[in-house]
Structure formats: structure tokens, C-alpha cells
Chains A and B, each alone.
Chain A
């Protein structure tokens, strides 16, 4: 009997120390608070609408997490979302072939933007913080050139495709799950381990024979494929283009990644945790809404909740 409880104890400890434990706990806490304030939370319609709203944040946070795990950072994903959104709104039309070409074009631009960021950071060795801050201005500039005023056209079928569901299984949920499965497959390949190794200690990784520059470049490209999908889902919901629309996503994605238990220095944490972090952050907005916080206080309360969440993570780490 004693040996049995011993095993259970070590398993419990491993469970508690698992990197996804804390974000999961925070997520459950947020859901509980949300359900108290909004009893209809578990109704199919509400779940579907929440999923549709949270998905862009989940996707862009997953992308940011991959870049941060490699030891870098990308402050240009927000205006990158804008850029992709403006390209889609400018080039899509009711002809299906045309729309598919437009999507391919937008994806190519996203990959190119990620590759450019990765190149500047990894090969030219500019500090990621400033370099991606600079490219974020470039993306915004191009977006404004393409679309000085909000507008443009996204065909209705995109929105219908995004809203399609069987029960609570929506297209958005499918996209998140599919992307996570792809990431888990990547984790089982060399590049997946190398991203963690380079983020943890790039000098040691280089000395171990890893091509650290190519690894960082790849992490940026992965990150931007997620960013592309995030922008696509936003475009589907908005059905138009707006050059400023993506801006708040940048720092929100960094916050979601940290709440999700990923260490900002890189090498430690999980992409799944970052996705949970994104949901936590999105639920905070919900909670504030249903708690009838006066609109003037909403930002204040949101900030305070995030600080408390980060403190919880810190206390948990210390143990």
C-alpha cells in the first residue's frame, strides 16, 4: 500500500510541476468565475461564439510562443495581422479561384515577412526587440498604403466557412486543434528540439553542432504561419480590411505566452500553455463585461487581473 501511495505522490508532483499545469489551473479558475457571472456560458451558442472570438488570439499566441521559445521575440505580429488582412480584403473576390489565389498570396507574404524578421534577427544579429519593432512599422506602412481607410471585400463564403459547425465543433476549433497537432508533430522532429535548445542556450547549441541561425529563422516562419491563420480568422469575422485592426494583438500575444508559462528568455514552456494563456486573457475581457465593471475601469481591471495572474505564476515557479 505504502509503495502505491508513494507512486501516486510522485505522479502528483510530476503533474503539478508540468509546464501546462499552471495555465490550465488559471484557465479553470477563469472559467469558474465566468460561469458564475454568466450562467449561460456552457450553452452551445455561447461556446461557439466564444471560440470564434478567441481563435485569432489563440493562434497568434501560439506563433509568438514558438518565436519566444527559440529565445527571440516578435513585436510585429500585430501589424503583420493587419497587413495580411488588408491583402485579403484587397484581392479577394466572389470568384472562388481568385479567392484561393488571394489566400495563397497572403500566405506567401506572411512567410516572407517571418523569414525577413528571422533573417534580420538571426543572420544580421540585430536585437529582436528593436528589429521587429521597426518591421512592425514597415508592415503598418504597407497596410496603410494598401488600405488608407477601413474597407475592402471579403466574400461571404469565408465568413460562412468560419462559422460552420457541427454541435460545438466549429471550424475555428478545428483550426486550433489541427495547428496544435502539426506543432506536436514538429516537436517530434529535430527542428522542434533545436528550437528549445537554441532558446535555452544558443552558444551551447552552436557548439553542439546545431545551425542556430537556421533554427531561429525556422521558428519565425512557423510563428508567421500561425499569424497568417490568425489574420485569416479575423478577416472571416470582420469581412473587411483595416490597417490598425491587428495592433493590439502584439503585446496581448506576449502576455498570453507569459501567462501560458513560457519563459521570456526562451527554451522553457509549451505552445499549448500559450494557447491556454490566450484563452485566459480573452476570458478576462468576458468577465469584466459580465461583472458590469464601468467601462472607464475596464482597462484598469484587466491590467490588475493580468498582474495577479503573473504573480501566481511567479510564486508557483519559486517553489
Chain B
């Protein structure tokens, strides 16, 4: 039985068509994988189903009846609950207040029954993340803890239909496994689910079928119960062409000149006595379990967080890292990982975003050559395949993956000496990931030293010459990327952990 049927859904945002007569169905008690590259309309479809957005055209049938949800509240009352990609948590409330938010237990006279709510929240956190204190303020949680609380919050609503929009992007493997066990349990209880993820492994593991969107249209459906779980076929549906993920990019050995030298860098509490060198043209990966200081290392190098001791030399000259300006002037640029809050002006156009760094450097003539800059920006957009009708579109109108490309585009024409990438491909689709890393390799070939932190080891193995493994703020392994596998990296990180 189909519990949900979305027929001929169309949705526009300004001039951008997010969904174009798209269909989606889900059967009772099944987990449907919703796949597609960034901007293909997955999140939009989810938000239309749960009432956050209203469709311009098309109908939604839920449990056999046509429904028009005006808000998430109405959908939630009908048993539809959603794990939002960008989280629906309120930073100033506690974990338990967030979990029950909008569905608080009240006494007959209308006063909040906080003890009941706390117990309920505790019961649900125990199933997924028992170590999180429900009395903590949400603003103090780490990204993966936030993601877990967001999942717990949707579960606490006792959904009959659950939409999980990229719930695993911020999670470690162990947490993903716990989540999958919970999902299997829910499935047994008859709950139907939509699962959105860019990780094909996960989709193959948990989903009963997949629906693929491409550019806001249906690209195809694969029923895993009848058909093979063919990864190449799925990728083909997603991208429309055949790309292979496993090919490692073969690279010439790097230049001999040392580009950046880091000596005994410390910054409490996360970084302890870190030393390494990167040569021109070399791509260095930073690996390790989540939250071991990788992001902090990137921020410290970029001058965002103060360095307590140690020094950093670029081309033999000491860089004082007091302010991001120092790093930028020395030719060291950071592409931040959290594009929602760093690295992009969401309210400004693509064009302005791309030219800000150039403006900030105060090089060149007093009057900016707008015509030249516009041509430059258009060229970058084409090179990076940024999907947009115009370079004057506002950044927040772009999909997540395209936003990330804009962040990278910022620094392209400045010929960076050192490029820092902090989890650049988080939540970015297969095609965009390939484009992004091709670009990084091109930059490296021109002599840039690249340092990448990625939560996904596969990405590192694909492009890096050398990989450092970080544990509790120190480097515990330094391996050349020759004949090593993901398992070796995880082993190196875990062995120290024990």
C-alpha cells in the first residue's frame, strides 16, 4: 500500500525551478532512498511533504487522502516528522526543551509538565546518544551531537512517516550503525521512511528502494527487492553520465621546495605541539576520528583562532597568525567547511561573493574593473559548473553544493600559495565532489601546497600525496599515500585511541 504519493509537484524559487512535475511514492513500512546531486530537489520535495513549503502545482496523497499541509505543525499532527538537513534546533534552549519543542506536555490548567517532558526526552536520547546530558544548552553541542539530538527530536514525535534529510553527513560510522538499527526497528513497527544521503554505501545498506532526482525531475527508480544494488547504475541515474569514484588521481611527484613549514604549533585545548611540512604541489590530508583537532588546526593556520606557541613559515618567512588577514596576505587561504555560517555571504550575489577576497587584498587599481571581474566570474562559474541562471543570483538561492563551489571560487584567481580546505565536500554530491577535487589537483599542479581535512577518508585517499592522522590534537601517524586503504587510516586512528 502506498502511504504517500506526491504527484506532478512543481516548485519555483524566484527564477529557479527546484521541482518540475516530479513524482514520489513511498510504501507503508518501507525505507525509500531519495538520491540526487545537490540542487536536484530532494530537500525541496521533503519540505513540501512536511508542509514547510507549499507546492506551486501538484497534489500529495497521504494514507489515501489528498492533503494540503499549511505548516510543519499540521504535518506533524498527521504523523509526519522530519530530520532537517540544516537542523531545527533552537540554540538557547536545552536539549530536552528542544526535543519536546512544539509538543510539550501540559497540565489541565495549561502549565508545562517539565518533569514528564524531561523523562520523555531522556528515554529517547537513551536509545541513540545516552551520553548527552538533556539539561545541556543546545548551543554548547558539537555538530555530531546536534545531528543526534535532531534525530532524537523527530523520533520523540512518534512518527508514522519519517523523513531523514542527510542525517548521517555529520555522524561517525558507529553512530550511523546505531541509527540504522533504530531505523530497522521502526520499520518493523510499520513506520515508513525517506532516507536522503550522498553515501551510496549507506543507501545500499538500509534502503528497500531508491528514487533518483536529477535537476528537479524524476531520473529513475530502483527497487532493491527485485533489482540488483548496482552502484554504477545509481551513479549513472544521479549524474546522467558515467563517472567512476574509485579511480585515484595519479599525480607527478611534487616540487622539491618546501612551501609551508609548521613548527611546534600549540593552541589549547585542542592542538598540541604540531609540526609538519608541505612542499609546493603537494596535497596533504588530515585524517583521524571526528573532533580530534582537525578543524581547529585549519582555523589556527588561517588565523581565526589564536596560536599559543610555535611558528608557521611560508616560503621560509615567518607568518604571524594574529588575524585572518595575516594568513591571506601571506597567500594562505581557507575554504571553510560550514558554508551556512562561514565563508559565504548568503544575502549577496555570486558575483560579489567571488570578488570580495580580491577587494579585501587591496591590490590593483583604485577603481575596480567591473567588466573584467564579471567576465572572470562568469568563467569561474562555467569552470566549476555552478548551476545558476546568472552570476547576479543571490547565494542563498543556490543549492548547498553550488554554494560550496562559490566558496572555493572566491580564492581561485588569487593563485594561493597554500590552500586549506576544511571538509570541503561535506554534503556535496558526487559530480560536484569530482569537480571540486579536480580543481584542487589543478591548483596543486601549478605549485600550490594544499592541506585538506575531510571527514570522509575515501576523499583523502583519492587525491592526497601524504596523510597525517591526528588524535587528541597531536599527529600520531604520517603516511605516504601508497598502497594504503581506508582501513589502514582508521586503524592508525583507533590504535592510539585504545
Contacts and interface: CB of A to CB of B under 8 A. Distances in A.
B88 A200 contact: no
B106 A189 contact: yes
Interface residues of B, number: 25
A188 B101 CA distance: 14
Contacts of A203: 88
Contacts of A207: 52, 72, 82, 84, 88
B90 A209 contact: no
A196 B93 contact: yes
Contact of B73 (A196, A197, A211, A268): A211
A189 B87 CA distance: 25
Contact of A197 (B71, B76, B87, B90): B90
Interface in B86-113: 87-93, 97-98, 101-104, 106, 110-112
Interface in B124-160: 153
Contacts, number: 72
A175 interface: no
A208 interface: yes
Given A188-B112, A189-B110, A193-B97, A210 B92 contact: no
A200 B93 contact: yes
A: interface residue count bin: 20 to 34
A95 interface: no
Interface in A188-239: 188-190, 193, 196-197, 199-201, 203-211
A211 B72 CA distance: 10
B104 A188 contact: no
Given A204-B87, A209-B72, A209-B103, A190 B92 contact: no
Contacts of A189: 106, 110-112
A208 B91 contact: no
Contacts of B92: 196-197, 199-201, 267-268
**Interface SS of chain B:** loop
Interface string B56-86: 0000000000000001110010000010100
Nearest to B74: A209
A196 B93 CA distance: 8
A208 B112 contact: no
A208 B110 contact: no
A186 to B, nearest CB: 10
A19 to B, nearest CB: 10
B45 to A, nearest CB: 16
B110 A201 contact: no
B72 A193 contact: no
A194 to B, nearest CB: 8
Given A197-B93, A268-B92, A208 B102 contact: yes
Among A185, A193, A196, A208: residue with most chain B CB under 10 A = A208
Interface string A147-169: 00000000000000000000000
Nearest to A204: B88
Contacts of B110: 189-190
Tell which of B71, B101, B106, B153 has the most Cβ of chain A within 10 Å.
B101
A211 B71 CA distance: 9
A190 B111 CA distance: 7
Contacts of B103: 209
A188 B106 CA distance: 10
B75 to A, nearest CB: 8
B106 A210 contact: no
Contacts of B98: 208
Nearest to B101: A208
A210 B93 contact: no
Contact of A206 (B71, B87, B91, B104): B71
Contact of B102 (A185, A188, A199, A209): A209
B138 to A, nearest CB: 9
A201 B102 CA distance: 14
A188 B88 CA distance: 22
Contacts of A199: 92
Contacts of A188: 111-112
Interface of A: 185, 188-190, 193, 196-197, 199-201, 203-211, 267-268
Given A207-B84, A208-B101, A211-B73, 17 more contacts: A189-B112, A190-B110, A196-B92, A196-B93, A197-B90, A197-B97, A200-B90, A201-B89, A201-B92, A204-B88, A207-B88, A208-B102, A209-B71, A209-B103, A211-B71, A267-B90, A268-B92
Interface of B: 52, 71-73, 76, 82, 84, 87-93, 97-98, 101-104, 106, 110-112, 153
24 contacts: A185-B111, A189-B106, A189-B110, A190-B104, A193-B112, A196-B92, A197-B90, A197-B93, A197-B101, A201-B90, A201-B91, A204-B88, A207-B88, A208-B90, A208-B101, A208-B153, A209-B101, A210-B101, A210-B102, A211-B71, A211-B73, A267-B90, A267-B91, A268-B92
